[in-house]
Amino acid sequence: MLEVPAQVWQKVKTNYIWRSLFRHGYPDSRKNQSLAVFTNVFLHLHPVKVRRHALAIPYTWCMGGLSFFLFLVLTLTGTLLMFYYHPVSAAVPGADDAYQDIKDLETVVIFGQFLRNMHRWAAHGMVITVFLHMIRVFYTGSYKPPREFNWVVGTLLFVVTLVLSYTGYLLPWDQLAIWAVTVGMNMVGATPFVGDEVRFLFLGGFEVGGNALLRFYVLHCVALPVIAGFLMAIHFWRIRKDGGISGPL
């Protein structure tokens, strides 16, 4: 009985197309396990072997990995949301605008509410996981040589994560959104010497209006994710170059 699937599997694996995709056998030997990791563009972020210590969940809580996971979830759900969202504030109350798009997401679009919820909660979640990751890195002394610079990159990632979340906060264009952003922008406006200029730069005006919405939208959907992506690339690369996850000497 089992010969048939076994033969089919054998055929598939020796097939020309399959072999153009995978250049190693099933990862059940050390050699194939190594090949599986470093011939795969997604897996090659990993080394082939790690110290056993690094696998312990109480050591990392997986928080760095989960921050990255949430970032991917946010990229996916965010891209889907972009199909339905116009960064427009209506001149006439009641006309179509960003707020109406959110309402439509909740009532008209299939799974729209679910999509929005996923994006929202993942965003809060990411702020929390990044914070917890920072806590674990600090208390395990993982910023010590040779990882000084990766800690600096991490600090920048923390700031970018907060700003990403904050710029997204404005987009639903409801009362919560504009007033939270108004409060934040007033703080920015208190910057010594250049406060008003910086505030104007963010808002494209003197108060939170259509221009601010557009600026926050571009920052949120393009500029900041790209910056975060670059920083993460550096962050992950440096983990490898600094000898993998820290551990007792």
Partner 1 sequence: MTVPRGPQPFPGQEKRLRLLAFVRQDSIVRVDKRVEDTAMVWPHLLVIEFIAAMVWALGLFVVAALFNAPLMDRANVDRTPNPSKAPWYFLNLQELLLHMNAALAGVIVPTAWIVFMMTIPYIDRSREGVGVWFTSQKGKTVAVFSAVYSTVLTVGLVAADFFLKKAGYAEWATAHLPGGKLIIPDVVIPVLVMLILPVVLVVLLKRLYQANTREWMIGVWTGFLATYVVLTFIGTSMRGPGMDLFAPWALPPTHD
Q: Which residues bind ligand HEM (CB under 6 A)?
A: 60, 63-65, 67-68, 71, 130, 133-134, 137, 142-143, 147, 150-151, 154-155, 157-158, 161, 232, 235, 239, 245-246
Q: Residue 94 burial (CB < 10 Å; 0-12/13-18/19+)?
A: exposed
- Per partner kind, with CB cut-offs from 5 to 8 A, the member of ligand HEM, partner 1, none near residue 205 is none
CA-to-CA distance for 149 and 155, rounded, in angstroms? 10
Q: What angle do CA 183, 186, 191 make, to 5 degrees?
A: 140
Q: Is residue 177 near partner 1 by the rule CB under 8 A? A: yes
CB 228 within 8 A of CB 157: yes
Q: How far is the CB of 54 from ligand HEM (least distance, A)?
A: 8
User: Residue with structure tokens 């110290």?
Assistant: 51
Residue 214 partner contact from ligand HEM, partner 1, none using kind-dependent CB cut-offs of 5 to 8 Å = none
The yes or no reply on residue 174 touching partner 1 (CB under 8 A) is yes
Is 227 a binding residue for partner 1 by CB under 8 A? The answer is: no
**Residue 236, SS3?**
helix
Side chain identity at residue 98, one-letter code = A
Q: Give 140's DSSP letter.
A: T
Q: Which of 6, 12, 82, 159 binds partner 1 (CB under 8 A)?
A: 159
110 belongs to the binding site for partner 1 (CB under 8 A): no
Total length of the chain: 249
Site for partner 1 in 195-224 (CB under 8 A): 195, 207-209
Q: How far is the CB of 205 from ligand HEM (least distance, A)?
A: 31
